[in-house]
Amino acid sequence: MSHKIRVLFVCVANSARSLMAEALLRHTDSEHFATFSAGSAPTEVDPHALRALESLGVATDELHSKSVHEFSGQRFDYVITLCDKAALECQALPGAGEYLAWDFEDPATSHKPDAYRHTLHEIHERIKMFVLVKNKR
């Protein structure tokens, strides 16, 4: 495959969920996917999210919070939002071939024990299914 499928994961803060998704897709299949993440109101990277990724052996070196505005003018095959708020705010992003709205609980505000690992696992399962479906085409 000469053309990598370009995927942009979007959340509000780009501090945990979207960064997890970016790292997981890159880790799962960087041969077929070019992966990015951004936030509609980016903040600092959540160190708990990085630790959760590193516990699975997923590289976190290149992860940093970015604004969706940094990607204006770029074309993506998929823009995937990871929370309902981002889904509402980012429907007007130009350059998206297809929008997918996934919704995962924010581990930073969760009361579940081991929330980061739980969210990471849920995102990883969805990423693996996404890769499986898209690679069959």
Residue 88 has pLDDT above 90, yes or no: no
Angle of helix 47-55 versus helix 115-135 axis, rounded to 10 = 60
**Per-residue burial over 71-82, b = 16 or more CB atoms within 10 Å of its CB, e = otherwise:** beeeebbbbbbb
Residue 43 banded pLDDT, cuts 50, 70, 90: very high
Q: Which domains are present in the chain?
A: 5-131 (3.40.50.2300)
**1 or 4, greater pLDDT:** 4
Within 8 A by CB and 6+ apart from 92, the residues are: none
Q: How many CB atoms lie within 10 A of CB 69?
A: 9
Q: Is the pTM of this model over 0.95?
A: no
Percent of the chain whose pLDDT exceeds 70: 90
Q: State the SS3 of 23-66.
A: HHHHHHHCCCEEEEEEECCCCCCCHHHHHHHHHCCCCCCCCCCC
CA distance 68 to 52: 24
The one-letter amino acid at 81: T
Residue 77 has pLDDT above 70, yes or no: yes
